[in-house]
Amino acid sequence: MNFINFQAWREQTLRDDPGLLDCGETNLYRALAAWRPQLDVADEGHAHRCDLARLWLTRYGFDAALSRNALVCCGVRHALELIFKILAAEGDATIRLPQDIYPVYGELARQAGLAPSTYATLPVPLLPPILPAPAPAPSGLSCGEYLLIANPWKPLGRYLNEKECSHLVRWLEASPSRHLLIDAVYDLAVPFHETTRRLYATGRAVLLHSLSKGWLHPKIFGIALIGENVTHFAPIFRNHPPTQDSLRLAHALMTKAADLPSRIELELNRRSCQWMEAIPDQVRERFAAPVNETEGGYFFPVEITAMDLLQRHRIVGVPASAFGAVNWHGSILTNLSAAFT
């Protein structure tokens, strides 16, 4: 069942039996619509990308001197569109994407002309082996290898652990042509998780973030914080800036609603407590990842199929296949529905 089919199935199932426990809401913006800031920026002055970059850097504990490395964009999706265009133009780059996090990753790569390979993250991330780098191309140039990860893993619902982080550091060290793309949009904390900061410190990672989750404003403003060894992405970002309206709104959100991400985090934690009380013991015993390991998380994988959840426990969950999973047939539960407000 893909995501579109899941949405139709969920709606019909809940219409047929409104007494079911709905753990299948995945839209954060719909669930927290009342929390979305409505700010009037018509009278705001001209917004400068460099100022917004420094504002973002300061908020997340980075040196403001990194502003030249903080590439402004409209969000993570926009950043990946631009990065994938560069990788496709290079011709010899390879890209690995998670197959069961966000299908748009693959769509964007293919639209750019790339042929990505994939790896599973459910129920455990299957990271690439630490092997010697491939032989240089006939031109003498080594092929660039790029691995996209999410931290926290979605929909696994947890941050990278120490073993995974160390594995990725060693994978980078095994070849100077290897780089990471880190989607940190689901991290509501300040600063970012220690594993994200450790991987960025290698100099060969691009940290991707936006205002979409913490401020509930998608496609407005984002940052691609490039490492010291991936500076070739900078020109395309400078040629594709957000609009002035978007930049003004981003400035207002980060200054006038600076505490919103932490308030959303607290609200999601509160919902998690109510959610846990509603989940039967037989289901809690089958969780595939530690619960509440990620503050502000709202995805919880369970080793039970969606049909079994419905028939045995009267719970509507999301089949893992809706996220793109191939060889794992569990489900993802969420705490976003009105049942947990």
304-335: pLDDT as tens digits: 999 999 999 999 999 999 999 999 999 999 99
Per the structure, the count of domains in the chain is 2
pLDDT value, residue 141? 41
pLDDT over 90 at 277, yes or no? yes
Q: 59 and 20, same structural domain? A: no
Q: 76 and 114, same structural domain? A: yes
Radius of gyration of the chain (CA): 20
Provide the β-strand partners of residue 71: 224
Q: 104 and 200, same structural domain? A: yes
Which residue, 205, 227, 256, sits at the end of a domain?
256
Q: 63 and 178, same structural domain? A: yes
Which residue, 206, 222, 256, sits at the end of a domain?
256
Q: Considering the domain boundaries, does residue 42 fall inside one? A: no
Q: 27 and 57, same structural domain? A: no
Which residue, 219, 236, 256, sits at the end of a domain?
256
Mean pLDDT to the nearest integer, 31-44: 89
Q: 55 and 18, same structural domain? A: no
Q: 312 and 200, same structural domain? A: no
pLDDT value, residue 229? 84
Q: Which of 75, 278, 307 is nearest to 185 (CA)?
A: 75
Q: 266 and 249, same structural domain? A: no
What's the count of helices (H) and strands (E) in the chain, helices before strands?
Answer: 12, 12
**Which residues constitute the domain of residue 322?**
3-35+260-340
pLDDT tens digits for range 236-261: 999 999 999 999 999 999 999 999 99
184 contact partners, CB below 8 Å, separation of at least 6: 150, 151, 192, 193, 196, 207, 208, 209
Q: What's the CATH number where 149 sits?
A: 3.40.640.10
pLDDT tens digits for range 193-236: 999 999 999 999 999 999 999 999 999 999 999 998 888 899 99
Q: Considering the domain boundaries, does residue 247 fall inside one? A: yes
pLDDT value, residue 329? 95
Average pLDDT taken over every residue of the chain: 93
Specify the pairing of strand 21-22 against strand 315-316.
Answer: parallel
Q: 65 and 24, same structural domain? A: no
| Banded pLDDT at 134 (limits 50, 70, 90) | low
| Banded pLDDT at 139 (limits 50, 70, 90) | very low
pLDDT over 80 at 132, yes or no? no
Q: Considering the domain boundaries, does residue 40 fall inside one? A: no
Mean pLDDT to the nearest integer, 146-173: 96
Q: 274 and 250, same structural domain? A: no
Q: What's the CATH number where 304 sits?
A: 3.90.1150.10
Mean pLDDT to the nearest integer, 46-50: 94
| Banded pLDDT at 299 (limits 50, 70, 90) | very high
pLDDT tens digits for range 142-151: 468 999 999 9
Q: 30 and 56, same structural domain? A: no
